[in-house]
Amino acid sequence: MLQEHEVKAPKVLVRIGHDGRWSRPIRALVDTGSPLTIISPDVARKLGWVQSPEEQPVALQGLGGEQEISGWMAAMDIAFLQSPAQEPTLGLLLRRTAVCVSTLVGQGAVLVGQHESLERLRFTQRNQPPFWDFELALPEEEET
């Protein structure tokens, strides 16, 4: 007989940076199946991001590939924090990361995906009781 287990989606505390400005701390969902990191347009606009009129949107396959939603590519910094009070430059920091600005995620939301984000990190995830664990770090060759 199958037992029901609580599924805990890993979340990390991040701040998004663009042109020297930083977002408020955001609990971001980690999605190892997402090819891109996706940031909601309201978060990007509060940082001064402006969609270029000549830039064409990219097509994204939404939830299960059933819905196509457009977004715009941008380069932003992602700081992974230990606490909301931590300065973003003192956290695990990925500079000029390719992200997609899209309404695919809800207002004020960030989804951390593979390309230029998770693929640049080393992470450990355990979803078995009693160990609920998710840890991010720079790969050992980059740690100094």
Does the pLDDT at position 130 exceed 80?
no
pLDDT at 5: 46
Higher pLDDT, 89 or 52: 89
Q: Domain of 41: which CATH number? A: 2.40.70.10
Number of domains composing the chain: 1
* Percent of residues, the chain, with pLDDT higher than 90: 42
Residue 27 in any domain: the answer is yes
- Is there a domain that residue 2 lies in? no
Tell me whether residue 4 is in a domain: no
Question: Cβ–Cβ contacts within 10 Å for residue 2, how many?
Answer: 4
Q: What average pLDDT score do residues 5-15 get?
A: 74
pLDDT number for residue 68 = 60
Give the C-alpha separation, 36 to 4, whole Å: 31
Domain that holds residue 130: 11-142
- CA–CA distance, 31 with 93 (Å, rounded to integer): 18
Q: Bridge partners of 78?
A: 16, 94
Q: Can you count the helices (H) and strands (E) in the chain?
A: 1, 10
- In terms of pTM, does the model score above 0.85? no
Whether the CB-CB separation of 111 and 29 falls below 8 Å is answered with yes
Q: Would 99 be classed as within a structural domain?
A: yes
